[in-house]
Amino acid sequence: MTRFIHDQFAKEYLEELLKRYGEVKPSETVPSEVREIDVLFTPFPGEEINLQVLGILGQFASSPAIFEPFRNAASEEEICNCILKSLYLRSSFQRDARRNKTSISESALPKLWILTPSASKRKLSDFGATEAANWVPGVYLMAKSLRTAIVVIHQLPRIPETLWLRVLGRGKVQKQAIDELEALPSKHPYAKATLQLLYALQQSLIVADNPPKDDTELIMRLAPLFHQQQERAKQEEGQRIVIRQLNRRIGEVDSSLIERVQELSIEKLEELGEALLDFSVLSDLEAWLAQQEV
């Protein structure tokens, strides 16, 4: 089933987004029966401000967190299992604290975020999950002591702050999120890495047996990413070669000029590579760049 392919993508995706801000443990084993938490995250001290680049996901990760993403709507049994794993882990932390004769604050205990594409009103009601006034629509909190929230991805508003969560949706919601990812500036800290993970997802889905309709549509939507990835890799390699040649011919190049070189298309980079043979001083490069901007 392709569900396992999507599960692996979700773990790798969350790890990629969060790893620079804290310790990420995908597939963390908890006590009792063999159970695994999808992603356990512990933020590094002082990273709360930097996490803002991830919008609502960054707010979730501003304190210790457990992330349990689901490709299909999480069933009652699956939600119960998530809560059970969270309670096992909480008990383990508390035992370690007692063993070390220390105390652990409630805020240091990880909060459980169940990420599901959809959830019925009845299911949310059965778990006592109510929409939180201090969060965007789609975030439902359970009783305080459970430290658990159900995030209904398809109910999240289509705003930049929810993009990194909507990537884990499905169907139209996920495709819209991919459109927004492609529109991000190439220098965005997560645009390139996320698109690469999505391309890897597409390759895994292609070789899967009998993918469902929405996975087939996702494969088609992701197809242009391969070409885009190749073009970007070619452009970055061209940039490295030209900058290396510039440094050899005319010495170290100012960072502002390097930025202008990096904005050149592949064709212009090739032209600059040929023109370098006639450069001897920095002003030659400045004049050539000025010509391209006319």
Are 121 and 225 in a shared domain? no
Are 232 and 89 in a shared domain? no
**Domains: count for the chain:** 2
Are 207 and 163 in a shared domain? no
129 burial class (0-12, 13-18, 19+ CB within 10 angstroms)?
buried
Are 130 and 182 in a shared domain? no
Are 37 and 153 in a shared domain? yes
Are 176 and 230 in a shared domain? yes
Are 260 and 156 in a shared domain? no
Are 73 and 181 in a shared domain? no
Render the burial of 202-234: b for 16+ CB within 10 Å, e for the rest: bebbeeeeebeeebebbbeebeebeeeeeebee
Are 97 and 36 in a shared domain? yes
Residues 6+ apart with CB under 8 A from 258: 243
Residue 165 confidence (pLDDT) above 60: yes
Across the range 37-54, mean pLDDT stands at 88
| Backbone phi, psi, residue 26, to 5° | -75, 145
Residue 115, pLDDT score? 98
Are 233 and 219 in a shared domain? yes
Residue 96 neighbours by CB distance under 10 Å: 11
pLDDT, tens digit (0-9, with 9 covering 90-100), for 237-287: 777 777 777 777 676 767 777 777 777 777 777 777 777 767 766 677 777
Domain boundary among 129, 152, 169: 169
Are 142 and 288 in a shared domain? no
Across the range 21-45, mean pLDDT stands at 77
Q: Which range has highest mean pLDDT (56-60, 97-101, 185-189)?
A: 56-60
Mean of all residue pLDDT scores within the chain: 85
* Domain extent at residue 218: 170-294
Q: Which amino acid is at 129?
A: A
Are 51 and 116 in a shared domain? yes
Domain boundary among 169, 203, 232: 169
- For residues 18 and 42, give the distance between their C-alpha atoms in angstroms, rounded to a whole number: 9
Terminal-to-terminal C-alpha distance of the chain: 55
Residue 34 confidence (pLDDT) above 50: no
User: Could you give the percent of the chain with pLDDT greater than 90?
Assistant: 41
